[in-house]
Chains A and B, each alone.
Chain A
Amino acid sequence: MDLLLEIAQQVINGLVIGGIYTLMALGMTMIFGILDQTNFAHGELYMLGAYAAFFFSMVLGIPYLVSVCLAILVGVLLGLMYEWLIFRPVRGKDPLNAVIASLGASIFIWNAALLVFGGAPREIPTPFLGEKVNLLGVSLNVQRLLALAVTIGIILALYWWIGKSRLGRAMRATAQNREVAALMGIKIGRVAELVFATGGALAALGGALVGPIFLLQPSMGLLAVGKAFIVVIVGGMGSVLGAIYTGFGLGVLESLTVGFLSSAYRDVISFAILILVLWVRPQGLFGRTGERGG
């Protein structure tokens, strides 16, 4: 019974982490699926989202939940900046140019953050961290539950939005064929702005939600982007559903590895899965060759 409880505990922790991976991976997979560009600087959106929440709640004294909303706004603005400064200038060129440009941006941003925020780990205060609820013997931290609930809600909303709304349809049309979509009167620049704003908002939300659980560090984006890449590729680049399943799956797997094996193996196992999938099924678990977008 104790073992079962331990497993349940680890699975829930894993779902929280997995939700954050999913939030990041969704933005990246949309950027890849719709615009054919790879964003290596996505982790910095997550990092800056966490620091934005820290700034609003800690420095300005705004309540935590309002700070999270403000952090999302910051994420939207940052996403737009990414589109204008990094990705639009290299659109239509060799796709590797976008990888290199965003890599440069990533190095620039996290080192600038190191200079501005300092290397010392920081903590976002939240009223929910200390509180625990007991569910069938499993003790659950309210902040983790909140993060999980918000993540799932947002993912469902996004899924509905891409599938049903007019804007979602424009995005999917662009993913299928950019030229024809443009001929049909879809403004590609607008779609790109929308995609990056959404990606920025999701990543910043992720950062603001885990900020209170883990410590904030300027380098936190680098590891997170590695994990999000694993999710995006294993799930199938451009596949929204694949990113959701794989994101939560990877989080649970990592959490179980830490709980029952050793934390040293956590990252090795994740990257080994990446290489294995690239080896036997390069299109990803949920991707079909030639398939793109949600």
Chain B
Amino acid sequence: MKTLPYRNLWKWVGTGLLLLIVPVLVRDPYYLHLINMSGLSILLAASLNLITGFLGELNLGHAAFYGVGAYASALLTMRLHLPFLLTLPVASLLAAFSGALIAYPCLRLKGPYFAIATFGYGEIVRLILHNWDTLTNGPLGLRGIPGPAGFINSKVEYYYFILTIVALSLLAIWRLLHSQLGRTFWAVRQDSVVLAEMIGINSTRVKVLAFMVAAYFAGVAGSLYAHYLRFISPDTFSFLESSTALAMVIVGGLGTFWGPVLGAILFTWLPELLRSVSEYRMIFYGLLLWGSITFLPQGISGFLESRIRKNCTTGVARDAHS
């Protein structure tokens, strides 16, 4: 299944039309805001899934890439007065570069070592944002980041912009995963890396590339975040954010294409459902993370899939593998 599943064309057209009329259906600006935030979470979770789901490496510092994208984009517009449409790709490329910077030294590390190294990187980035006052304005954060004035002015216009970016990014990730390169992501996982090397795959190159792609899309999310909310501070890109992104991927379904999307939406709306008990929110996240990996290691989408597979005699092709 190299291309998009055209046999489900009508489903896709229906979903697309539904997404296009969302601003007509959702009048409440707050709910529209949450939908926009879901879009950013989807980018964050889908990019983390490339590393943790497909490459099989636990990344506990994903918020660092998100932060690099956000701060780079904000500073480029505020200090150099570059337009948003230029800073978005530039900041994302900078995030991708930081991904390569992290990937190279960590590649020799395995399993928990790798996870702890990424935890360390995340902390270093947060500490730099926190302490480099002259550049980042320290713990106070950056206020009054200019929005993309001129062509995006309202939440509705933001909705369409974010929708477009998320759709294009997911499409790009989908195409990547079903390309020759994407299949090598599976091949260089820990348990089969020796075999992969034997058939001529340069595992270092593949892993660094995967990291750069993941960091790029996290950077896109960061840049969107900075200009959409117009305020960023180091606290937004802390270890807590990294763990929330991880929870989206794990609870949604590690290594499946749609699982993290599902998880991202779930974790953006969950706080709303729990608003009356908001102080229990993080307690609930922790419980979900533990419960999911202990009782449902394949996540919600993996669980649903196995149920469907059990019911269908023909079986359903797994999206991401093919």
Contacts and interface: CB of A to CB of B under 8 A. Distances in A.
Interface string A224-268: 001001100100010000000000000000000000000011011
B108 interface: yes
Contacts of B289: 100-101, 103-104, 107
Interface in A254-294: 264-265, 267-268, 271-272, 274-275, 278-279, 282
Given A105-B286, A274-B120, A100 B113 contact: no
Contact of A229 (B119, B282, B285, B293): B119
A105 B290 contact: yes
Contact of B117 (A95, A108, A275): A275
A112 interface: yes
A3 to B, nearest CB: 26
Contacts of B131: 264-265, 268
Interface stretch (A85-93, A153-161, A193-201): A85-93
Nearest to B117: A278
B140 interface: no
A106 interface: yes
Contacts of B243: 103, 107
B115 A108 contact: no
B127 A268 contact: yes
A40 to B, nearest CB: 8
Given A233-B116, A268-B127, A268-B131, A278 B286 contact: no
B288 A38 contact: no
A32 interface: yes
A229 B111 contact: no
Interface string A96-119: 110111011111110110010000
B112 A99 contact: yes
B105 A100 contact: no
A90 B294 contact: yes
Contacts of A115: 279-280, 283
A38 B112 contact: yes
B235 interface: no
Instruction: Tell which of B120, B128, B247, B280 has the most Cβ of chain A within 10 Å.
Output: B120
Contacts of B282: 107-108, 111
Contacts of A52: none
A100 B121 CA distance: 18
A278 B290 contact: no
A104 B287 contact: yes
Nearest to B125: A271
B290 A271 contact: no
Interface in B223-265: 239-240, 243, 246-247, 250
Contacts, number: 113
A131 to B, nearest CB: 36
B305 interface: no
A204 interface: no
Contacts of A272: 124
B294 A282 contact: no
B interface SS class: helix
Interface residues of A, number: 39
Nearest to A264: B131
Contacts of B293: 90, 97, 100-101, 104
B124 A275 contact: yes
A222 interface: yes
B112 A279 contact: no
B240 to A, nearest CB: 8
A267 B58 contact: no
B181 interface: no
Contacts of A106: 286
Nearest to A275: B120
A268 B286 contact: no
A268 B124 contact: yes
Contacts of A108: 282-283, 285-287, 290
B115 A38 contact: yes
Contacts of B58: 96, 99-100
B196 interface: no
Nearest to A102: B290
Interface in A3-52: 32, 38
Interface of B: 56, 58, 60, 105-106, 108-109, 111-113, 115-117, 119-121, 123-124, 127-128, 131, 239-240, 243, 246-247, 250, 279-280, 282-283, 285-294, 297
7 nearest A-B pairs in the assembled complex, by CB-CB distance: A104-B289, A108-B286, A104-B290, A107-B286, A38-B112, A111-B282, A279-B105
9 contacts: A93-B297, A96-B56, A103-B60, A107-B240, A107-B243, A237-B113, A272-B124, A275-B120, A278-B120
